Structure 1
Amino acid sequence: MSTYHIPVMLKECLEGLDIKPNGIYVDVTFGGGGHTRAILEKLDGGMLYAFDQDADAKANAEEFQQHRSFTFVESNFRFLKRQLRFHGVKQVDGILADLGVSSHQLDEGSRGFSTRFDGELDMRMDQGAAVTAKHVVNEYEQKDLIHILSAYGEVKNAKTLAAAIIRARGMKTIHRNEQLREIALTCAPRGREMKYLAQLFQAIRIEVNDEMGALHEFLEQTPEVLAPGGRLVVMSYHSLEDRPVKNFINAGNIRGKQEKDFYGNIIRPLESITRKPIIAGEEELERNNRARSAKLRVAERVQSK
């Protein structure tokens, strides 16, 4: 499992959580369990609830099941509050979210996430979900393809790429990664082909899994779930994720629009601990290239007055 996913900025995440041995914590993106393992080592009488909807992650969780402080929750983190209530938990002392796709998923061709390995166009985190990448690529209208390519992949020539996909699927159903790659490469800027493919696959993956919707719902639940003084630690890997996290911490809402009380104080349930996002150091970057785009933000639930 050590090859499944190397946890990014592990030390910084643990420091951000400010773990109390008897506290209650949530790792809402369990994945390969790297962060979870480190949190459990610091608990003595506390509890950790680990969320993940991925079947591979559930298999990884089996080695932790004998740990009395560990509970695996097979769910998307958008159901954070509901699932914790089901387990009898109203408030917790810390929440960790590592929003990146695991290295294992990106390298696993059969799941359809990879730009390098061929496989069926799938990209579902939850294998029971109805919408697949194949459905998006073959069934979405051109205007909808343009929207997701532009909004979620920040593809500069989204109209050109969407038109190329529409033409190709009109001749033959696109059902494998390699087919989509070949179409995209005809539109890719010279010298930036790999980045272009990454943008395309990111856009479709975000749409398939409704990642932005899930992130927004998750963030909006955190103030109620966190106990006063509890910590929220979120690691994002692109601006689409980092922007709403930053906005929510600084303004108390996804839009980033500040609202003030009668006395001119900004109304927000969280207080930023990190004035600027934390980024990985040179040593970690040499060890783990995946950390290069990571931004870590830490906030604390405002103490009740």
Structure 2
Amino acid sequence: MRASVIWNLARSLPDAYAARGRLARWMASFPEDAGVREHVMRDLLGPKRMKLPYLELSGLMIFDMAFGAGGCSNARVRFGELAAILGSSMDMADDVVDLVETSAEGRAEFLQRLLATAISGQTYEDVRTPHRAAYAMMRHLHVDLLSRDPERIKPVFGRLVDVNIRQSGEHDPEVLLELEVEAGALIVESVAVLLELDQGICFPLVRETCRRIGAFGQLFDNWRDLEQDLAEGVNTLGTVLIRRYGDTPGVRREIAMRYCERIDELIAKLPHFDDPVSEAGSATMTSLLQFKYRKQTRAVKHAGRSVRLPRAM
């Protein structure tokens, strides 16, 4: 790695590791009963604590890739913080959906209620602790962030809910692949929308970069989570092909190849920059992706396909 890339990464680490404390305090401030807070902190947030610095660091690097000069601006730091808060909250809510709602109808109803909670702060009575915790997270997002301009965030969140509902009832592998791409794109795009609300400025290039990186990461995550998704009955390209044709090495290779081909297409459309600072940001993001996904990358390579990760020009 070049010295500028190492400097760029080192500069971001203090902000990234501070995400743990910030998110823990944010979670602990839920205006909910002690049982919900304990469930969130222990069962949902606990296993994901080590993921928080990566989420925030990813946010900082995505911002650098889009803007080039990055710097230590308030917008850049805030983007990283929002990436940690929103990314973790939605990740945990998704865990609740996958673990508790097994039917397509139940999943759709629960997702619609989560959306209503996030957009309007609406309260739903549910005795199940996981559901109450998920509603609490969405209400907290509404009060702290989304209530500033709910109509602006609603289209992105609404499309994300729609994609998740469609995915739960879809069995065509090619359609599922595109739904997975769109889900990843929307999750990270929502961070850019929150930044725009927070700063009062539009960042179209950040949005597009977010969409590419989000889709790229989602496909690798789905490859990594293949066993878990099979166990929980989640529909993805991989799980549908295995259920249809059996869990054989040949089917696994086919899944890996399809994911990699789509990833190649996404990477080819990532922004590349000529100035040195932008190059450093892009290269650092590449290093982060390689670090996060090195195990998945090895698994895909063993399945018979070489993986090309983003690289700075």
Please report the TM-score for the alignment, with normalisation by the length of structure 2: 0.31
Q: Which has the higher helix share?
A: 2
Name the structure, 1 or 2, with higher relative contact order (CA <8 Å, separation 6+): 2
Which structure: larger Rg? 1
Q: Which has the higher strand share?
A: 1
